[in-house]
């Protein structure tokens, strides 16, 4: 049923836009059929490419970055073929037509999102967590259930086998949540894992939770850094962000300046703090000052912090105070997307207490990041450890599609006003 919805979406939306175009533009009668047939061909192209590439299979189990990639590939091919058809028929290529072509993949993504939102059985796959080594937090459970997975937890293989004797393993994902030492103590553990089609906990977390599991003894020595072509793409995104955000920064600085003047607040406009960057090189990070100066308290910000200006609460919730970091981008200290640079005092503490923490310093930090938008605001070492797992996944799996996903989700987080 879900595949049928996906086919219908790809079939009907281009045809619908074709009807809109014909309605908006006064076409000669002999051109109406040609344009309409071209939009039908647009639909057929999307369906054909998606079928050949197997994009419809388990579509809702795919990550958002993969869905963006699918949309781009299918749209690019369909767009190219439409240009050929227009040249062949000697049809005029106007601005409205190009805009409608561009909106088609965005509309398809939106409709598919709505299908997932209102159709609760898009996955309906059971995940069995066998063992108690890693304690899944509420956020991870919510992330999996929101994707349509059904979770069951078992303390041991004996509990699992007793409750799943007559069930088909092909409809389940079985996760071995054991420490390596405990796993080796199991009799014929390799046979058990293979016969039950199991994933080890680290592989499961990487595939489904998009984080790298940190075993307390697993010290990572290799570095997953960006290739030169990756770096060029990242810098291109950085400079696009700078151009877009400089006018916004200027307007808000003016607004904050006059607000402070009215309220007789004489603090400086910007806050400067030393942070660790690439290879733990220390640099100055810039933010709009939203807290009173000359206070004895020098700690991490907490929820409902009394040091924050009352009028600045909305500024922090919308993350506007982070905008001056576009100057850090221009100086080469940061990217738009990357692990968030941590306050040096806390970073040193975490480096001593959290294994592999310095791994996040193998790339430049970012204004926003995967851990920043996925995990709630951190207040302790466990939060820092959780965020490190997401940062490590980002570094290992970087792609332009992943970068775009993080930018889109950052915007959604800002609209949701998750911050303090």
Question: Would 318 be classed as within a structural domain?
Answer: yes
199 and 112 co-located in one domain: no
36 and 113 co-located in one domain: yes
- Model pLDDT for residues 155-166, shown as the tens digit of each residue: 988 888 787 765
113 and 138 co-located in one domain: no
Range of the domain at 338: 228-416
pLDDT at 420: 42
Residue where one domain finishes, among candidates 209, 239, 266:
209
**Cα(110)–Cα(104) distance, rounded to whole angstroms?**
10
Question: Would 406 be classed as within a structural domain?
Answer: yes
Question: Would 114 be classed as within a structural domain?
Answer: yes
Question: Would 261 be classed as within a structural domain?
Answer: yes
79 and 203 co-located in one domain: no
Instruction: Specify which residues 272 forms β-bridges with.
Output: 286
| Cα atoms in the 13 Å half-sphere on the side-chain side of 326 | 20
Sequence-distant (6+) residues with CB within 8 A of 109 are 67, 68, 71
pTM: 0.87
89 and 167 co-located in one domain: no
Q: Which of 122, 124, 130, 212 is nearest to 163 (CA)?
A: 130
What is the number of structural domains in the chain? 3
14 and 46 co-located in one domain: yes
Report strand pairing: 172-176 vs 126-130. parallel
175 and 317 co-located in one domain: no
C-alpha distances (whole Å) from 168 to each of 161, 165, 203, 276 are 12, 9, 22, 50
Question: Would 223 be classed as within a structural domain?
Answer: no
Q: Which of 389, 340, 386 is nearest to 363 (CA)?
A: 340
pLDDT at 181: 72
Rg (CA), the chain: 26
Question: Would 220 be classed as within a structural domain?
Answer: no
Question: Would 345 be classed as within a structural domain?
Answer: yes
Question: Would 171 be classed as within a structural domain?
Answer: yes
Residue where one domain finishes, among candidates 91, 118, 145:
118
| Cα atoms in the 13 Å half-sphere on the side-chain side of 64 | 17
Residue where one domain finishes, among candidates 209, 236, 268:
209
Low-confidence ranges of the chain (pLDDT < 50): 419-420
197 and 263 co-located in one domain: no
328 and 382 co-located in one domain: yes
């Amino acid at each position: 049923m879900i595949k049928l919805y996906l086919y219908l979406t790809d079939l009907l939306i281009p045809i619908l836009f074709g009807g809109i175009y014909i309605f908006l533009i006064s076409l000669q009668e002999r051109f109406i059929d040609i344009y309409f047939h071209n939009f039908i061909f647009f639909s057929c192209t999307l369906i054909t490419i998606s079928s050949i590439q197997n994009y419809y299979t388990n579509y809702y189990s795919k990550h958002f970055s993969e869905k963006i990639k699918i949309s781009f590939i299918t749209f690019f091919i369909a767009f190219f073929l439409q240009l050929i058809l227009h040249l062949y028929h000697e049809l005029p290529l106007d601005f409205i037509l190009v805009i409608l072509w561009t909106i088609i993949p965005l509309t398809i993504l939106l409709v598919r999102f709505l299908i997932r939102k209102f159709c609760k059985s898009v996955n309906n796959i059971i995940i069995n967590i066998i063992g108690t080594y890693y304690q899944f937090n509420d956020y991870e459970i919510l992330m999996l259930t929101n994707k349509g997975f059904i979770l069951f937890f078992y303390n041991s293989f004996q509990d699992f086998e007793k409750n799943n004797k007559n069930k088909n393993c092909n409809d389940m994902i079985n996760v071995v949540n054991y420490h390596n030492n405990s796993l080796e103590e199991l009799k014929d553990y390799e046979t058990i894992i293979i016969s039950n089609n199991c994933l080890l906990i680290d592989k499961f977390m990487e595939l489904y939770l998009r984080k790298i599991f940190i075993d307390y003894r697993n010290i990572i020595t290799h570095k997953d850094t960006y290739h030169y072509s990756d770096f060029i793409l990242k810098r291109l995104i950085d400079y696009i962000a700078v151009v877009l955000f400089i006018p916004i920064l200027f307007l808000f600085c003016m607004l904050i300046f006059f607000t402070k003047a009215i309220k007789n607040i004489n603090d400086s406009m910007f806050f400067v703090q030393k942070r660790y960057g690439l290879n733990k090189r220390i640099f100055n990070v810039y933010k709009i000052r939203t807290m009173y100066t000359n206070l004895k308290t020098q700690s991490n910000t907490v929820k409902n912090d009394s040091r924050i200006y009352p009028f600045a609460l909305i500024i922090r919730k919308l993350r506007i105070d982070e905008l001056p970091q576009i100057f850090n981008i221009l100086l080469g200290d940061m990217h738009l997307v990357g692990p968030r640079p941590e306050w040096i005092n806390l970073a040193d503490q975490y480096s001593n207490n959290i294994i592999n923490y310095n791994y996040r310093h193998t790339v430049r930090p970012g204004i926003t990041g995967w851990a920043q938008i996925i995990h709630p605001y951190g207040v302790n070492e466990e939060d820092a450890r959780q965020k490190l797992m997401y940062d490590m996944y980002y570094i290992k799996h970087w792609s332009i599609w992943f970068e775009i996903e993080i930018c889109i989700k950052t915007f959604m987080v800002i609209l949701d006003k998750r911050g303090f």
